[in-house]
Amino acid sequence: MKMTNIFCLFFLIITPFFAFAQGEKTDLMPIPAQMQWQEGKFRLDRNFALSLNGTFADRLFGASSRFLRRLETRTGLFLKQGFISKKDNLASANLQIQVQKAGELKLHEDESYEIEIQNQKILISANTDLGVLRAFESVLQVIKADAEGYFFPCGKINDQPRFAWRGLMIDVARHFMPIEVIKRNLDAMAAVKLNVFHFHLTDNQGFRIESKTFPKLHELGSDGEYYTQTEIKEIVKYAADRGIRVVPEFDLPAHATAWLLAYPELGSKDTIIDPERKAGIFDPVLDPTNEKVYDFLDKLFAELFPLFPDLYVHIGGDENEAGRHWTENAQIQKFMKDNKIADNHALQAYFNQRMLKIFAKFNKKMVGWEEIMHPNVPTEAVIHSWFGKESLFKAAQKGYPTILSNGYYIDLMFSVTSHYLNDPILPEGAKMTDLEKSRILGGEATMWSELVSPHTIDSRIWPRMIAIAERFWSPAHVNDVEDMFRRMEILSIRLEEFGLNHIKNRDVILRNLAGGSANIEALKVLADVIEPMKKYSRNPKGELYTMLSPLTLMADAANADAPAARKFKILSENYLKKPNEADKAEIMKYLALWKNNHAEIAELCKKSPALREMEKLSENLSLISGLALEILTKEKTNRGEKILKTSSLLFEEARKQGGRTELQVVDAIENLLK
């Protein structure tokens, strides 16, 4: 690169924010470390071409070709340049790309880049071709249009990630995700500069990877839904071509029902195990005192580890805190006593020590949920924190490299605001030493799949994952929530070019609920103000839904951050701070819409029994909206004051769930009236 890393760091210190053209906001997401816009425009036409110069991996040819095709998709231009090859290094090309070396897919590899857009030329320079991949995404995001056509605004971007580990975990064990689902999500991950795909392949409900050494694992533990080894190689290459590392997870020693369904002799208790169809924490666990377990895993990993080139493999290691099957096994208890193993946590540490030797044999490093942390587990293991930052900091202070997922559990349906403002280090870790902070590698969002299907998973990941990706990439001071929402909505639509269904599949579900009718406007109005129940309350104790339950109801069409509810909340808060007729008129439009919407919902419920669980919730929305309308139009009358005094029961009723969803406008309407 033109600018050394030291100079980049110095520049960031003395220039903590960005310079924009006057009055202009950026649409970029993640926001780059540093950027400066200038007067001038680079005009696009069909003669636009790129040139690759320097040393790089072959993946840059494919990435450059995809860049051009996406540029054509955005603009409708018929570019003359086709698929990029070694001959595409012409000095006449107006996009000049200079690379110093081929990047390695490894932790802490350089992903920095520079972009300079001039009136007649665009320059991209990077130390590695991985930096060029990240630069392509920024270039595609800055394209604009005016009456004359498409253009890139002139300016400079100097960018590098804040964290080295920026991941998304997708659980394919509970609900299997076909290869096309994985690929489109990898494309979207690359678009927001994520670089780790955590592939959760095994759990109680499924063993999702082919084993030729122990075929009963996938034959008995997958219901026929698994990835062949050829497909695994395809996914790993697809990810690598986009600069994404694949870290597989083989959850051990607990979460083992699918393992023991095939090979019960490896378990800690002689039980007949049926396929697990429910969510939750279960007792079946491998026997860490059985030498056959280690021989089995040695042979299995000799087969499977080579499919994943990355240095890191995730062992899981979580949720065996009860350890009932260990406690109830007399032989295991004798082993613990003979070997002075104090408790189940120490026994799991013994298991992990044995596993570390197997990992080392195959040149792999272990990642595990924080339950693996123990004085007997060396600090070469990566601690993956899901309990909270306290354990994250504790691990870093003890010398372990760490990654954070607490606060990024996107399956829990919390607001994107909570994820966006959850920083892996700040503010709690501000007083840590620089060395301790350096051990916090970054973070991962987790998409556990108990309540998602291939049809709905995109809507649970996107667009919220965009905001989390910005938290992992951009400087810590980038935290304007309202601007985040503005930019996220723009990029959310752009991600549809990869085939993501996060926007369109809501209407597919609603049309099905409407009995195949195309008239779903009333359902869309309702869906815009409801959200699925939070955390694990939608599926209490994991017993309401099984892995075979339909995920085609209103709770599956609804998503976090209900758009109309959010807008109404902001509108009503602004009105309360500074009452004005314009905001009041807009508020009353919403209220009238919600009041009148129920009549159509009631008619739909007569034709669709699946919708009837939503009828009372829709009626409650209509009632509180009608109440608010009446008071807002007659706020000086005795009638309005009387209604207010007797409305508490109505609002209490409106807060009750319906169809495993909850109204998100109840508080805003009540606060408005109070």
Does residue 4 have a pLDDT over 90?
Answer: no
Assess whether pLDDT exceeds 50 at residue 491.
Answer: yes
CATH of the domain at 417: 3.20.20.80
Looking at 55-205, which runs of residues are DSSP E strands? 95-101, 113-117, 122-128, 144-146, 149-159, 165-171, 196-200, 202-203
For residue 196, list its beta bridge partners: 167, 245
- Given pLDDT bands bounded at 50, 70 and 90, which one contains residue 21? very low
Q: Of 467, 500, 533, which residue is a domain's last?
A: 500
Is 606 among the domain residues?
yes
- If one compares 79 and 23, the residue with the highest pLDDT of the two is 79
Domain that holds residue 147: 5-159
Q: Any idea which of 92-101, 318-327, 411-420, 570-579 has the lowest mean pLDDT? A: 318-327
Q: Please answer whether residues 186 and 499 qualify as being in contact, where contact means their C-beta atoms are separated by less than 8 angstroms.
A: no
Residue 640 in this model has a pLDDT that exceeds 60: no
Report in angstroms the alpha-carbon separations of 616 from 225, 539, 646, 656, 658.
39, 20, 20, 9, 7
Residues 182 and 132 in one domain: no
Q: What are the CA-CA distances from residue 284 to residues 275, 547, 550 (Å)? A: 12, 18, 27
Average pLDDT over residues 441-449: 98
Q: Are residues 560 and 652 in the same domain?
A: yes
206-207/165-171 β-pairing: unpaired
Q: How many CB atoms lie within 10 A of CB 655?
A: 13
Q: How far is CA 251 from CA 187, 232, 458, 547, in A?
A: 26, 17, 24, 18
CB 165 within 8 Å of CB 443: yes
Q: What pLDDT sits at residue 14?
A: 34
Identity of the residue numbered 258: A
**Average pLDDT over every residue of 587-607:** 97
Residue 12 has pLDDT above 80, yes or no: no
Residue 327 lies in a domain: no
Are 214 and 79 in contact by the 8 Å Cβ rule? The answer is: no
* Nearest CA among 202, 559, 562 for reference residue 410: 559
Calpha distance 265→178 (Å, rounded): 31
Provide the token pair at 259. Answer: 């393992």
pLDDT for the residue numbered 364: 98
Alpha-carbon span 440 to 417, nearest angstrom: 22
Confidence (pLDDT) at 321: 67
How many residues in the chain? 674
Categorize the per-residue pLDDT at 558 as very low, low, confident or very high, splitting at 50, 70 and 90: very high
Residue given tokens 């620089």 in the structure block? 434
What is the tens place of the pLDDT at every residue in 204-234?
999 999 999 999 999 999 999 999 999 999 9
| Same domain? 514 vs 632 | yes
Per-residue pLDDT at 220: 96
Q: Within 10 A of 548 (CB to CB), how many other CB atoms are there?
A: 8
Average of per-residue pLDDT values in the chain: 94
Neighbours of 617 (CB within 10 A): 24
> Over the stretch 167-197, which tens digit does the pLDDT of each residue have?
999 999 999 999 999 999 999 999 999 999 9
Task: Say whether both 669 and 588 belong to one domain.
Answer: yes
Domain membership of residue 495 (yes or no) is yes
Band of residue 156 on the pLDDT scale cut at 50, 70, 90: very high
How would residue 17 be classed by pLDDT, with cut points 50, 70 and 90? Answer: very low
Domain boundary, last residue among 138, 159, 180: 159
Peptide linkage before 253 cis (omega within 30 of 0): yes
Same-domain status, 516 and 490: no
User: Residue 132 pLDDT more than 50?
Assistant: yes
Report d(CA 56, CA 35) in Å as an integer. 25
What is the DSSP code string of 60-104?
A: HHHHHHHHHHHHHHHH----S--S--TT---TT-SEEEEEEEPPP
| pLDDT greater than 60 at residue 278 | yes
Task: Provide the whole-model pTM.
Answer: 0.95
Q: What is the DSSP letter of 403?
A: E
Residue 119 within any structural domain of the chain: yes
Q: Residue 147 domain-assigned?
A: yes
1 class by beta-carbon count within 10 Å (0-12 exposed, 13-18 middle, 19+ buried): buried
- Specify whether 487 is located in the same domain as 582: no
Domain assignment of residue 113, yes or no: yes
Specify the pLDDT at position 642: 63
Q: Residue 221 falls within a domain, yes or no?
A: no
> At residue 18, does pLDDT exceed 80?
no
Residues 519 and 469 grouped into a single domain = no
Q: How confident is the model at residue 397 (pLDDT cuts 50, 70, 90)?
A: very high
Rounded to the nearest 10°, the torsion over CA 561, 563, 565, 571 is 120
Q: How far apart are CA 650 and CA 647, in angstroms?
A: 5
Q: Which helix (H) or strand (E) holds 419?
A: helix 416-420
Q: What is the dihedral of CA 367, 368, 373, 379, to 10 degrees?
A: 0
Q: Do 533 and 642 share a domain, yes or no?
A: yes
Catalytic annotation, residues: 319
Give the CATH number for residue 112: 3.30.379.10
CA dist 513 and 618 (Å) reads 15
C-alpha 288/C-alpha 343 separation (Å) is: 13
pLDDT at 631: 86
Q: Which residues contact 127 (CB under 8 A, 6 or more apart)?
A: 1, 99, 100, 101, 103, 110, 112
Residue 66: which residues within 8 A CB-CB, separation 6 or more?
Answer: none
Does one domain contain both 478 and 514?
A: no
Domain count, the chain: 3
Domain contains 540: yes
As a whole number of angstroms, the distance between CA 426 and CA 428 comes to 5
Longest dimension (CA), the chain: 82
CA 58, 63, 68: angle at the middle one, nearest 5?
Answer: 135
Q: Average of pLDDT values for 309-313?
A: 98
**Quick check: 22 pLDDT over 60?**
no
Phi, psi angle pair for 490, to nearest 5° = -65, -50
Q: Are residues 130 and 175 in the same domain?
A: no
pLDDT category at 273 given cuts 50, 70, 90 is confident
* 474 and 459 share one domain: yes
- For residue 629, is pLDDT > 50? yes
Q: Clarify whether residues 448 and 517 are in a common domain.
A: no
Nearest to 530 by CA among 660, 378, 346, 424: 660
> What does the alpha-carbon distance between residue 329 and residue 551 come to, in Å, rounded to a whole number?
39
**Domain boundary, last residue among 136, 159, 182:** 159
pLDDT-based confidence at residue 271 (cuts at 50, 70, 90) = confident
